[in-house]
């Protein structure tokens, strides 16, 4: 379809969808998401619960050989998603190579792009993909899209520049089948949203909290918190990992912004090599700054700024910019994983808006 026939309609296909953070951003930008695919049963259950109108498929992407959907005339399509990124992360040095099979899942993403030939492609991944195997995987993605006929734009964006209360750098590739180069999105906030502004109205919780739905503790402390709340008076997912007493004793020694280095050595004797802990382990968040990356926040043991416990699922979701009406399903461990693996919706929205603005021109 030539660029001159572009209109405001767009249908989306979310590959490696997870719980649906990227879809939330796409929908907010006006994309009608028709299909979501992921192999994680628990993530797709959450996706379906929040998007009952979407065809959600729980399967190995390698098994998809046909997607039969009728696209009305004049409606553009976009394939988007982020293939598993753990193998590209700088925190996983042993898996950052061509030998990790998960690092090749992007090839199925590209296979489906060639099968559907959408008008647009949005590919997301960690910043580390630009360095893994000397940039081999990034070059493979760009070369494949270019040889298929796409014009490729790519950027590394910090989620904190787009209203997400978190320092999270991500690579985005936006590809146009119609020769469009897309300008890098401009920041949407003049100053970062802080942890306190993001979660300061949420309930005070105990270690191991198990009651999912609770009312807000006080009025929203910021425009961001108001945006996340909408018209709600209570929200869900106030679940906290039940840490044992020895872990809680470690937490008590850590100031805002501190980490494992602040814990007395006699309390860390079970660590064979204490010096190999990375800076995000036992990290207590600073209330007046954006959060560090919300990845596997249970494994890293991210600590609430003022309470002696780990983050709740809802607090982490707020720091990822999931609105409070979005409910995570499954056990607490699966909920934590879904939040940590997600693309922040507000960051995704900014990327899709860059396409929308171009298409309006």
Mean pLDDT of 200-215: 98
Q: Which residue has the higher pLDDT, 34 or 129?
A: 34
Phi first, then psi: what are they for 311, rounded to 5°? -70, 145
| pLDDT tens digit sequence for 98-126 | 545 555 678 899 999 999 999 999 999 98
What would the CATH number be for the domain defined by 3-189+343-360?
Answer: 3.40.50.150
CA separation for the pair 299, 72 (Å, rounded) = 46
Q: Residue 27 CB: number of other CB atoms within 10 A?
A: 19
Mean pLDDT of 329-336: 97
Q: What pLDDT is stored for residue 70 in this prediction?
A: 80
Q: How confident is the model at residue 297 (pLDDT cuts 50, 70, 90)?
A: confident
What would the CATH number be for the domain defined by 195-341?
Answer: 3.90.120.10
Q: What pLDDT is stored for residue 42 in this prediction?
A: 97
Pick from 239, 238, 240, 267: nearest CA to 252: 267
Q: Which residue has the higher pLDDT, 17 or 280?
A: 17
| pLDDT tens digit sequence for 3-22 | 333 335 899 999 999 999 99
Q: Which residues pair with 153 in a beta bridge?
A: 174
Q: What pLDDT is stored for residue 97 in this prediction?
A: 44
Q: Reply yes or no on whether the pLDDT at 263 is more than 50.
A: yes
Q: How confident is the model at residue 83 (pLDDT cuts 50, 70, 90)?
A: confident
For the chain, the average pLDDT equals 90
Q: Which residue has the higher pLDDT, 137 or 219?
A: 219
Decide the pairing of beta strands 234-235 and 10-15: unpaired
Q: How confident is the model at residue 1 (pLDDT cuts 50, 70, 90)?
A: very low
CA separation for the pair 354, 185 (Å, rounded) = 6
CB 351 within 8 A of CB 153: no
Q: What pTM value is reported for the model?
A: 0.91
Q: Residue 333 CB: number of other CB atoms within 10 A?
A: 12
Do the two domains 3-189+343-360 and 195-341 of this chain adopt the same fold?
no
Mean pLDDT of 72-95: 71
Q: Which residue has the higher pLDDT, 82 or 88?
A: 82
Q: How confident is the model at residue 67 (pLDDT cuts 50, 70, 90)?
A: confident
SS3 199: helix
Q: Domain map of the chain by residue range?
A: 3-189+343-360, 195-341
pLDDT above 70 coverage of the chain, percent: 88
Mean pLDDT of 197-201: 98
Asked which of 45-54, 290-299, 332-341 is least confident by mean pLDDT, the reply is 290-299
Q: What pLDDT is stored for residue 133 in this prediction?
A: 58
Q: How confident is the model at residue 135 (pLDDT cuts 50, 70, 90)?
A: low
Residues with catalytic roles: 85
SS3 309: coil
Q: Reply yes or no on whether the pLDDT at 62 is more than 90.
A: no
Q: How confident is the model at residue 275 (pLDDT cuts 50, 70, 90)?
A: low
Produce one character per residue of 136-166: b if its CB has 16 or more CB atoms within 10 Å, e if not. Answer: ebbeebbebbeeeebebbbeebbbbbbbbbb
Q: What pLDDT is stored for residue 182 in this prediction?
A: 96
Q: What pLDDT is stored for residue 200 in this prediction?
A: 98
The segment with the largest mean pLDDT, out of 117-131, 263-277, 329-343, is 329-343
Structure-token match 């270019």, residue found: 146
Give the DSSP H/E element, type plus range, for residue 106.
helix 106-116
Q: Reply yes or no on whether the pLDDT at 57 is more than 60.
A: yes
SS3 251: helix
Structure-token match 């309390």, residue found: 267
Asked which of 134-143, 145-154, 319-328 is least confident by mean pLDDT, the reply is 134-143
């Amino acid at each position: 379809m030539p660029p001159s026939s572009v209109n405001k309609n767009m249908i989306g296909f979310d590959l490696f969808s997870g719980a649906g953070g990227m879809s939330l951003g796409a929908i907010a930008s006006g994309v009608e998401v028709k299909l979501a695919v992921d192999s994680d049963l628990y993530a797709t259950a959450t996706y379906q619960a929040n998007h009952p109108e979407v065809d959600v498929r729980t399967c190995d992407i390698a098994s998809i050989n046909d997607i039969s959907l009728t696209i009305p005339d004049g409606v553009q399509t976009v394939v988007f998603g982020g293939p598993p990124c753990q193998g590209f992360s700088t925190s996983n040095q042993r898996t950052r190579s061509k030998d990790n099979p998960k690092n090749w899942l992007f090839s199925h993403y590209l296979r489906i792009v060639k099968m559907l030939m959408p008008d647009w492609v949005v590919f997301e991944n960690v910043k580390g993909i630009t360095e893994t195997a000397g940039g081999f995987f990034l070059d493979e993605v760009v070369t494949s899209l270019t040889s298929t006929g796409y014009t490729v734009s790519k950027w590394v964006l910090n989620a904190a520049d787009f209203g997400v209360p978190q320092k999270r750098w991500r690579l985005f590739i936006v590809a146009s089948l119609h020769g469009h180069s897309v300008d890098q999105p401009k920041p949407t906030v003049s100053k970062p949203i802080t942890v306190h502004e993001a979660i300061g109205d949420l309930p005070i919780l105990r270690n191991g909290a198990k009651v999912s739905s609770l009312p807000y503790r006080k009025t929203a402390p910021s425009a961001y918190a108001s945006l996340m709340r909408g018209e709600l008076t209570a929200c869900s997912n106030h679940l906290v990992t039940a840490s044992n007493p020895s872990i809680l004793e470690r937490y008590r020694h850590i100031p805002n912004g501190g980490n494992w280095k602040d814990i007395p050595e006699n309390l860390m004797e079970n660590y064979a090599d204490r010096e190999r802990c990375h800076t995000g382990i036992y990290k207590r968040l600073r209330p007046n700054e954006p959060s560090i990356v919300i990845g596997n926040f249970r494994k890293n043991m991210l600590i609430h700024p003022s309470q002696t416990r780990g983050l709740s699922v809802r607090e982490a979701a707020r720091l990822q910019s999931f609105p409070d009406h979005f409910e995570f399903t499954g056990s607490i461990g699966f909920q934590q994983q879904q939040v940590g693996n997600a693309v922040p919706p507000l960051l995704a929205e900014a990327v899709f808006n860059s396409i929308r603005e171009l298409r309006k021109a």
